[in-house]
Amino acid sequence: MHKAILQYNIAQLKQYTMEKTPPFRRLRGYAFDPSLSLKIDTVSINNICYKIEWEDLDESPSGNGKTVPTGEYIEVIDCDPATGVFYPPVDLNDRYLLAQDGLEPSVSDPQFHQQMVYVVLMTTIKNFEAALGRKIQWSQRYVPKPDDTSKIERSEFVARLRVYPHALRQANAYYDPQKKALLFGYFPAQRSRPELQLPGGNVFTCLSHDIIAHEVTHALLDGLHKRYIEPTHPDTRAFHEAFADMVALFQHFTFPEVLKHQVAKTGGDLAAQNLLGQLAQEFGKAIGGYGSLRDAIGHTDKLTGNWVPHDPDPNEYTTKMEFHDRGAILVAAVFDAFLSIYKQRIKKLLRIATNGSGILPKGDLHPDMVTLLSGYAADTASRVLKICVRALDYCPPIDINFGDYLRAIITADFDMVADDEHNYRIAFIEAFQKRGIYPSGIKSMSVEALTYEQYPEITLRGDDAEIFVDFLRRFKEQVAYLKDREEIHTITQEFIRGGRNAHMGLHSRINVKFLNTEVGKRFAELTGMAYPNTANKCKEMGMDYSTSSHTAKYSVENLWMANRVSPDGKIINDVIITMVQKRGVKASIKDGVFNIDGYYQPSEGDVEGGFIFRGGCTLIFDLDTMDLKYAIKKDINDKLRMERQFRYMNGRFKASASAGYFDEETLTGLSGPFAFMHSHH
């Protein structure tokens, strides 16, 4: 009898203890990457300990109680096709590893590589989720119709991103949007570069924090705005590169240990504070290709040996058309904003430290000073990173350009922090302005002009708009407490298309009846899309007709619920909807003048002299007031934008078409647009 009770109690105890998982998992990794030049003496802080949210890992199918590095978001499978082998998965729950914060960083142990990749990916993913206020999703997989692979039958949920740490033998790493996978390459260390002293002689891109963070950001951005891969504007692809680089860069600066050592070293000229810029560049240089985006930040003066920031040239934005050159301008602008915010914040500290003179006494900095300064730098980096990521929710779903992104940053920040006492927003505006980046259609570069119009004149209350408010209310109820990403995805799809929980999908709610009401008409205007109500009118305008909603076809691309907490404790609940519509436009250029020759329906397929033009919007609804807070649109009737896209696409393709044995279409088609962006520059 006692034995039975004892066993029962033990069982209860076991259950109790098993449910309590630790909040964090600590894993060692490189802050930089092992092959980075050690010119700036960063040995002591190269090995850091990352701290990420604890998640349960999948169990090994061998049933031996071990785990494999597969969690909710990523699946690390160590396949090395060039060598023809797999390297066994690392068991991160092994008790010896748990006791030591993971494996010892080692270039020659593939299992540590898996660990490094896992921890940096999870760090980046969690930073995104914190900024966005919701769980991230990877971009969906298209499944084609069985008889025609060029037509999509449906989209499938992709639960986990595949990660291959040793996939390629080249100095490259990329995100493959078709395979929803990250492929990392490795290559032999170059003999002639003495800085790269590696045991074993290979350089692994999977061991570079910056490269890992950069590549997964492409995947994360693809999951939010999948149309940013389409090169409709010289900025779109450049944006992908620049954004990925920015995330890697600022995430790096959020590790105070990384900065402390360097700040201590300056010992003197605090006013210049260019060390951060110099560091930023060093991070990107190891492999070569990645450094190019940061060359725009500054350079080391050959005579003085000091790092000096580049003078921004407003002409570059109009003249530099190539992805990397253009992306560099954006990275430099955001970094510039970061630096000025940082310098503002440490002003008081400097005053104290120098007794108002601005000149420090010779010798080492006081260690407390070092801690404070690096703390400020890390904190500022964290906030800038958050703003940059959050701004994505305030961007249009298509045809992104740098001006749009600036407005998104300002608006996103305004939404979170009404009173900008540290002038973060001014810092951004100034930095963009210095580089000639001006959003179109606004009258001035003031914060007010740049912020998107808040609560545009439309009231969703009243019978006509009940259909909308009902939608938002139901959505909030269904999704608010869901944690499982697949469930979130399924419910969201129902709300878009219609289903049991949604009652009516968004498509059915935005029907002709709604659009004919006062509210509906205003709504249509704000979305930037067109809703001709007969099949003929649709044909005239070059749009496909939907028999179910009795108007032109459009797609609801995203539907998200975001929960954010502002720095002053305000809780913000938003629903974000993005919608996109397309039309076929026939155009030509005669004697340098752009002409629209007519429209055609996209379902007709390829048409001579025709191209697909898209319009759409990002709508942000305030769940607390049930009002439309922002409507950020790209108008489908905007003829200027049509011209810009046409000129750009024609100029680009003509130039590269006959430039070499492999044309751009072939290279892009092989492994996606990111595979060759890094390798041959």
Query: Which residues between 53 and 92 bind another protein (CB under 8 A)?
Result: 60-62, 68, 70, 75, 77, 79-89
Strand partners, 620: 576, 630
| Surface-to-core class of residue 79, CB atoms within 10 Å of its CB (0-12 exposed, 13-18 middle, 19+ buried) | middle
Q: Does 328 bind another protein (CB under 8 A)?
A: no
Nearer to another protein, 299 or 539 (CB): 299
Please name the residues in contact with 62: beta carbons below 8 A apart, sequence gap of 6 or more: none
Give the residue with the Cβ less far from another protein, 44 or 62: 62
**660 is a contact residue toward another protein (CB under 8 A):** yes
Applying the rule CB under 8 A, the residues between 513 and 572 that interact with another protein are none
Q: How far is the CB of 350 from another protein (least distance, A)?
A: 38
- DSSP 3-state assignment of 557? strand
Q: How far is the CB of 93 from another protein (least distance, A)?
A: 16
Whether the Cβ atoms of residue 432 and residue 317 lie closer than 8 Å to each other: no
Q: Is 681 in the site for another protein (CB under 8 A)?
A: yes
Query: 253 to 292, contacts with another protein by CB under 8 A?
Result: 288-289, 292
Least CB distance to another protein at residue 651 (A): 13
Shortest separation between residue 629's beta carbon and another protein, angstroms: 35
Q: Provide the CA 80 distance to its chain's centre, in angstroms.
A: 28
Provide the β-strand partners of residue 616.
580, 634
Of the pair 85, 359, the CB lying nearest another protein is at 85
| Residues 6+ positions from 382 with CB-CB distance below 8 Å | 250, 253, 254
Q: Is 658 in the site for another protein (CB under 8 A)?
A: yes
Q: How far is the CB of 518 from another protein (least distance, A)?
A: 41
> Considering the complex, what minimum distance in angstroms separates the CB of residue 626 from another protein?
38
CB of 643 to another protein, least distance (A): 24
Answer yes or no whether residue 249 interacts with another protein by CB under 8 A.
Answer: no
Binding another protein by CB under 8 A: which of 405, 667, 673, 678? 667
Distance, CA of 531 to CA of 544 (rounded, Å): 11
Count of CB atoms situated within 10 Å of the CB of 171: 18
- Compare residues 89 and 396 and give the one whose CB is closer to another protein: 89
- Measured between alpha carbons, how far is residue 410 from residues 117, 343, 384, 427, 561 in Å? 33, 20, 12, 10, 21
Residue with tokens 């389409």: 230
Smaller CB separation from another protein, 62 or 304: 62
Q: CA 53: distance to chain centroid?
A: 20
Question: How far apart (Å, rounded) are the C-alpha atoms in residues 345 and 77?
Answer: 44
* Closer to another protein by Cβ: residue 174 or 646: 174
> Which of 32, 204, 250, 630 lies at the binding interface for another protein (CB under 8 A)?
204
Do the Cβ atoms of 119 and 103 come closer than 8 Å? no
Question: 581, 543 in Cβ contact below 8 A?
Answer: yes
Is the distance from CB of 646 to CB of 539 less than 8 angstroms?
Answer: no
Q: How far apart are CA 146 and CA 296, in angstroms?
A: 48
Among 9, 12, 108, 355, binds another protein (CB under 8 A): 108
Site for another protein, residues 182 to 201, rule: CB under 8 A: 183, 185-193, 200
CB 194 → another protein: shortest distance, Å? 11
In 314-451, which residue ranges form alpha helices assigned H by DSSP? Answer: 316-319, 323-345, 347-353, 367-390, 402-416, 424-434, 447-450
Q: Is 651 in the site for another protein (CB under 8 A)?
A: no
Cα distance between the two ends of the chain: 77
Number of helices and strands in the chain (H, E): 24, 20
**108, 114, 119, 121 alpha-carbon torsion, rounded to 10°:** 120
Judged by beta carbon, residue 190 or residue 340, the one nearer another protein is 190
Site string for another protein, 117-156 (x = CB under 8 A): ------------------------xxxx-x--xx-x----
Only one of the segments 220-228, 229-237, 443-451, 669-677 lies at the binding site for another protein (rule: CB under 8 A); that segment is 669-677
Closest distance to another protein from the beta carbon of 138 (Å):
12
Smallest separation (angstroms) from another protein to the CB of 191: 6
179 contacts another protein (rule: CB under 8 A)? yes
Per CB under 8 A, which region of 404-412, 431-439, 475-483, 661-669 contacts another protein?
Answer: 661-669
Q: For the chain, percent helix, then strand, then coil, each to nearest 5?
A: 45, 20, 35
Footprint on residues 229-248 left by another protein (CB under 8 A): none
Binding window for another protein (CB under 8 A); candidates: 105-113, 243-251, 313-321, 411-419? 105-113
Q: Is 17 or 658 the residue whose CB approaches another protein more closely?
A: 658
Q: 637 vs 666, which CB is nearer to another protein? A: 666
| Candidate ranges 174-182, 311-319, 376-384, 511-519; the one touching another protein (CB under 8 A) | 174-182
Nearer to another protein, 8 or 662 (CB): 662
Residue pair 478/495 in contact by the 8 Å Cβ criterion: yes
3-state secondary structure 423-461: CHHHHHHHHHHHCCCCCCCCCCCCHHHHCCCCCCCCCCC
Q: Which is nearer to another protein, 179 or 476 (CB)?
A: 179
Q: What is the DSSP letter of 638?
A: -
Q: Which is closer to another protein, CB of 107 or CB of 410?
A: 107
Pick 141 or 476: Cβ nearer another protein = 141
Closer residue to another protein (CB): 66 or 345: 66
